[in-house]
């Protein structure tokens, strides 16, 4: 049984899969309570399936980008489970997961997450189903129907709009304001997936992880790290001190935007 965990944003998701069969999935609005709710929801999900942790044969986690705190929770829990149970660990980019839900789209796909400060995290993908034909898809595996184009990026909306040259399908957890701005700048070149259809599902995360396992790929629980495309903003305390402060005393994170 494979367990998939995603706490990348204010939406969280858990799934249990056996091969290509979904056994259970739970997706909910977690807000900023990732560390409080994840283990409780996981315990409930296992109980509902009459399962024990020892029955897991692999663990997958969405590794970001996203909420700095949220991403850490799923990554830390998955690493701990992998290490303690001695089972494979698979990390999957949250942007890859968002795009995968639109893998059969006939348009180029741009996966988005709100990065705050007027910027977005993006990953751009090209569906390959129609271009390569059935024979090529059979060789690669029927589940892999798209390829990421270039590196993940953090861009302002104007910069992103300047890169779009053809009709593109935008998907992901973004605000109405971001969608409106892109629509105004891109016109007919911007096609948006409805918000509910953009909700990330841990069942799809499990599918991507299963594909990696089938290729003999896995991550080291001692070295897997969250995918942070930029450092979290910090505020340095201006209060005078008689001695050098500790890091915990000197800095505090900005409220998260995702």
In whole angstroms, give the CA distance from residue 180 to residue 162.
16
Positive or negative, the Cα torsion across 82, 15, 101, 227? negative
Given this model, what pLDDT does residue 233 score? Answer: 57
Q: Determine the pLDDT at residue 103.
A: 83
What digits encode the pLDDT tens for the residues 95-133?
Answer: 999 999 998 888 999 999 999 989 999 999 986 654 444
pLDDT score of 22: 97
Residue-averaged pLDDT of the chain: 87
Cβ burial of 74 (10 Å; 0-12, 13-18, 19+) is: buried
pLDDT single digits (tens) 65-98? 999 999 999 999 999 999 999 999 999 999 999 9
Q: So what's the pLDDT on residue 76?
A: 97
Neighbours of 23 (CB within 10 A): 17
* Beta bridge pairs of residue 125: 109, 148
Residue 2 has pLDDT above 60, yes or no: yes
Rounded CA-CA distance 65/190 in Å is 23
| Nearest residue to 34 (alpha-carbon basis) of 64, 2, 1 | 64
Please list, residue by residue across 143-171, b when 16 or more beta carbons sit within 10 angstroms of its beta carbon and e when fewer do.
eebbebeeebbbbebeebbeebeeebbbb
Token pair listed for 26: 């739970």
pTM: 0.84
Angstrom distances, CA of residue 141 to CA of 43, 54, 131, 136, 241: 33, 30, 15, 9, 60
């Amino acid at each position: 049984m494979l367990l998939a965990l995603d706490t990348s944003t204010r939406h969280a998701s858990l799934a249990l899969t056996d091969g290509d069969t979904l056994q259970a999935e739970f997706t909910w609005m977690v807000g900023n309570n990732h560390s409080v709710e994840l283990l409780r929801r996981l315990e409930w999900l296992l109980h509902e399936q009459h399962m024990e942790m020892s029955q897991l044969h692999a663990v997958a986690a969405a590794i970001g980008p996203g909420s700095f705190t949220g991403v850490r929770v799923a990554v830390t829990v998955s690493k701990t489970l992998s290490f303690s149970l001695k089972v494979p660990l698979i990390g999957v980019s949250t942007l890859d997961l968002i795009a995968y839900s639109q893998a059969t789209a006939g348009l180029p796909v741009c996966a988005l997450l709100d990065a705050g400060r007027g910027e977005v995290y993006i990953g751009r993908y090209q569906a390959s189903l129609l271009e390569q034909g059935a024979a090529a898809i059979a060789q690669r595996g029927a589940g892999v129907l798209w390829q990421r184009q270039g590196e993940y990026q953090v861009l302002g909306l104007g910069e992103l709009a300047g890169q779009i040259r053809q009709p593109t399908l935008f998907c992901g957890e973004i605000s109405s304001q971001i969608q409106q701005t892109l629509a105004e700048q891109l016109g007919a070149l911007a096609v948006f997936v409805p918000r509910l259809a953009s909700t990330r599902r841990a069942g799809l995360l499990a599918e991507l992880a299963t594909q990696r396992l089938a290729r003999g790929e896995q991550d080291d629980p001692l070295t897997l790290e969250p995918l942070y495309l930029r450092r979290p903003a910090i505020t340095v305390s201006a209060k005078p001190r008689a001695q050098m402060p500790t890091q915990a005393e000197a800095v505090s994170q900005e409220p998260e935007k995702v």
